Amino acid sequence: MARLQEAQENLLQHAMGNYLQSLQWLSASGEDSNKSIKAVMSLCSLWFDAYESHPTISRLITAAVPTLPALVFVPLIYQLSSRLGSKDADFSRATEALIFKMAAAHPFHCIYQLIMLSNGARVPDTQVMTMLVVLVVLVVLVVLVVLVVLVLLVLLVLLLLLLMLLIFCTQRGANLFVHDEAKVNAAKGMMARLKAEQRHATALQQAEQASDAYLELSELVITDEDEKKPVKPDCHVSRHSVPSVQSDTCHFLDLHR
């Protein structure tokens, strides 16, 4: 077991050393920055995962900081600054040395994260914050109660409308319909006058027959069981002749001649 841990430690140190040398070489040779980004990502991932169980790798970072290019670590400023103040002494020294070099070389990319961390203890008065939180909670509760009441009222109105609609649809009869007596009498008088003229008598008779047939059909009471039954050809419906007009020209004006 001890030999396995020793072999693991050696492999880790070699990997870290190779990543550090590759960063130094890429920076010195001016190679593609994408290669440097990939190398620094792999280096920090390996470092962050293993520094607690392998403190020697943090010492490698600290020793290599003076020769490392600060620019390639700038994309990781948030990850590095969030690990400031670690309880691990070796890791804390390595991160502080690396971040200090980054902030000195590229202050506009790194200083704001340090300012935010330095103001971490700047908290408003607890009593005022508590009162504000309580006030916000009360306002939210009041709004929720009002919304619930409005929703209940809307549901109640919809329920009443649905009930009225059901009552209206299930009851049939003249007591639910209020007709205009004056209009009925006027229409009947007009029909009587038209029937007095012989030229309209046939057309009026045919129209009344068709209307009576449709009215009789609409007044039939059909239950749910009736809808399931097949239609019988000898069902009881009054016989009405269908009005028709014969014309040689089939012109609309011929229907009124």
SS (H, E, C) 33-88: HHHHHHHHHHHHHHHHHHCCCCCHHHHHHHHHHHHCCCHHHHHHHHHHHCCCCCCC
Cα gap 49→43, rounded to integer Å = 10
| pLDDT of res. 202 | 76
| pLDDT of res. 128 | 59
- Of 36-40, 119-123, 187-191, least confident by mean pLDDT is 119-123
110 and 96 in contact (C-beta within 8 Å)? no
Task: Collapse the DSSP code of 150 into the 3-class scheme (helix H, G, I; strand E, B; otherwise coil) and give the result.
Answer: helix
pTM for the whole thing? 0.48
Half-sphere exposure of 219 (CA within 13 A, CB side): 10
Q: Alpha carbon 223 to chain centroid distance?
A: 44
Using pLDDT thresholds of 50, 70 and 90, give the confidence band for residue 218.
confident
List Cβ neighbours of 44 (8 Å cut-off, separation of 6 or more).
73, 76, 79, 80
Of 115, 128, 64, 67, residue with least CA distance to 93: 64
| pLDDT of res. 130 | 72
Domains in the chain: boundaries: 2-118, 126-172
Cα gap 152→80, rounded to integer Å = 54
Cα gap 43→55, rounded to integer Å = 15
| pLDDT of res. 252 | 41
Cα–Cα distances in angstroms (integers) from residue 40 to residues 58, 96, 101, 242, in the given order: 15, 17, 15, 94
| pLDDT of res. 232 | 63
| pLDDT of res. 150 | 94
Question: Which DSSP symbol is given to 232?
Answer: P
Q: Please compute the mean of the pLDDT values over residues 13-42 and round it to a whole number.
A: 81
110 and 77 in contact (C-beta within 8 Å)? yes
